[in-house]
């Protein structure tokens, strides 16, 4: 069987180059096009020198992909830009896996409220499946459009889903997350400038981060009552990795001693979820599609505590996108993703 042809749109950024890194060793695909508007005509390895001798192909413009007969397209574009692409290419035969936030929420109104931007293609929101395979495997299969989740939401949702789906927790939940700076993208900005991040640590977007609604909206599809998430992101002085620490009160009458059994059962056949007996570390998942989760109950404070760790560029973005592609094509879900974490 010939390999499927993949297009990667927006590959001068971090998730685009991470997609190339993963797909280079995927047994079922060949990379047919890598696009950039700002660097078209340059070699991919000129933009990302760590690919020298490995990927020497030329970057092309989005308008050049039409002649290539692609089988699947990944969008590694900023939100607000992806939706234009999806609108213009909705009738093409290939499925699109969008890494931006443009199709993750439940309506154009919700999007406009949290992103301060008009949505140009609300039909895409109706058509898209939310791409966390562990929770929405059946909905993702056969879709033309997958809304790949945000990095913080991936870590929070996977750390909470078993408790929410088993109706074990009160609806007010605290999610306290810390991310490496690649989460902010490749463009230079003051917030991620070396002296502002190095040897430093701070919270940002308190009460207002757009991932709050993504976490709430997604978990509400799984639970019996609507949740309110107090989500606070923090910036870590590391390049990649996210740890989320989650606090939830058990519902009256819940058998709190069952928490480990509930998580074990919920994730029993999941190749990328590893339940840990101590709090996980970002270096234990670095470069991989794993989400490591620790869960416990604190009798003194009457809190469930779960702690999850992912690599924001892999399970939080490109790796999960490849996992979604594997589902769409009915391939082994782990194809191309079998890596050992890079530690130290």
Ligand X SMILES: CC(=O)N[C@@H](CCC(=O)OP(=O)(O)O)C(=O)O
Catalog residues that contact ligand X under the rule CB under 6 A.
79, 100-101, 150-151, 179, 183-184, 211, 233, 235
Taking the complex as a whole, how short is the minimal distance between the CB of residue 204 and ligand X, in angstroms? 7
Residue from 38, 208, 278, 301 in contact with ligand NDP (CB under 6 A): 38
Of 13-21, 105-113, 130-138, 291-299, the window that binds ligand NDP (rule: CB under 6 A) is 13-21
Taking the complex as a whole, how short is the minimal distance between the CB of residue 264 and ligand NDP, in angstroms? 28
Q: How far apart are CA 203 and CA 214, in angstroms?
A: 19
Of ligand X, ligand NDP, none, which one sits near residue 14, judging by CB under 5 to 8 A according to partner kind?
ligand NDP
Which of 151, 163, 173, 307 is catalytic? The answer is 151
Question: 305-319 burial, b if ≥16 CB within 10 A, otherwise e?
Answer: bbbbbbbbbbbbbbb
Residue from 7, 8, 12, 323 in contact with ligand NDP (CB under 6 A): 12
Closer to ligand X at the Cβ: 117 or 221? 117
**Which uninterrupted H or E stretch holds 255?**
none
Examine the residue annotation and report whether 151 is marked as an active-site residue of this protein: yes
- The closest of 34, 28, 39, 27 to 8, measured between CA atoms, is 34
Of ligand X, ligand NDP, none, which one sits near residue 235, judging by CB under 5 to 8 A according to partner kind?
ligand X
Phi, psi dihedrals of residue 260, rounded to the nearest 5°: -65, -40
Closer to ligand X at the Cβ: 26 or 211? 211
Closer to ligand NDP at the Cβ: 34 or 305? 34
Taking the complex as a whole, how short is the minimal distance between the CB of residue 304 and ligand X, in angstroms? 25
Q: Say whether residue 39 binds ligand NDP (CB under 6 A).
A: yes
Kindly list the strands in the beta sheet with 72-75, ordered across the sheet, starting from the edge strand earlier in the chain. Answer: 29-35, 4-9, 72-75, 96-98, 145-147, 129-130
Q: Say whether residue 288 binds ligand NDP (CB under 6 A).
A: no
Reduce the secondary structure of 46-110 to three states and give it as a string.
HHCHHHCCCCCCECECHHHHHHHCCCEEEECCCCCCHHHHHHHHCCCCCCEEECCCCCCCCCHHH
Q: Which position has the token pair 């008009």?
A: 118
Closer to ligand X at the Cβ: 150 or 287? 150
Q: How far apart are CA 30 and CA 277, in angstroms?
A: 39
Closer to ligand X at the Cβ: 196 or 260? 196
Taking the complex as a whole, how short is the minimal distance between the CB of residue 28 and ligand X, in angstroms? 26
Instruction: Please give the distance of CA 96 from its chain centroid, rounded to a whole number.
Output: 15
- Which positions are annotated as active-site residues? 151
């Amino acid at each position: 069987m010939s390999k499927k042809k993949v297009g990667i749109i927006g590959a001068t950024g971090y998730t685009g180059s991470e997609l190339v890194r993963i797909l280079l060793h995927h047994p079922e695909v060949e990379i047919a096009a890598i696009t950039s508007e700002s660097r078209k005509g340059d070699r991919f390895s000129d933009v990302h020198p760590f690919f020298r001798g490995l990927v020497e192909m030329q970057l092309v413009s989005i308008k050049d992909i039409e002649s290539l007969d692609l089988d699947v397209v990944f969008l590694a574009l900023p939100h607000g830009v992806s939706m234009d692409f999806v609108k213009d290419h909705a009738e093409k035969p290939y499925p699109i896996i969008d890494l931006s936030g443009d199709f993750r929420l439940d309506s154009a109104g919700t999007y406009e409220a949290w992103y301060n931007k008009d949505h140009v293609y609300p039909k895409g929101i109706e058509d898209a499946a939310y791409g966390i395979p562990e929770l929405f495997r059946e909905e993702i299969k056969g879709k033309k459009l997958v809304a790949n989740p945000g990095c913080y939401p991936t870590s929070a949702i996977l750390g909470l889903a078993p408790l929410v789906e088993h109706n074990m927790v009160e609806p007010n939940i605290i999610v306290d997350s810390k991310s490496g700076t690649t989460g902010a993208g490749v463009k230079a900005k003051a917030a991620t400038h070396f002296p502002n991040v190095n040897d430093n640590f701070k919270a940002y977007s308190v009460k207002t981060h757009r991932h709050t609604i993504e976490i709430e909206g997604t978990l509400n599809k799984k639970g019996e009552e609507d949740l309110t998430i107090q989500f606070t992101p923090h910036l870590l002085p590391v390049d990649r990795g996210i740890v989320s620490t989650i606090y939830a009160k058990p519902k009256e009458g819940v058998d709190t001693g069952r928490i480990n059994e509930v998580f074990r059962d919920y994730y029993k056949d999941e190749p990328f979820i590893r339940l840990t007996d101590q709090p996980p570390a970002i270096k234990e998942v670095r470069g991989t599609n794993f989400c490591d989760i620790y869960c416990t109950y604190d009798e003194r404070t009457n809190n469930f505590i779960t702690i999850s760790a992912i690599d924001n560029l892999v399970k939080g973005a490109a790796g999960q996108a490849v996992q979604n592609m594997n589902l769409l094509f009915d391939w082994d879900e782990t194809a191309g993703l079998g890596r050992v974490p890079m530690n130290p």
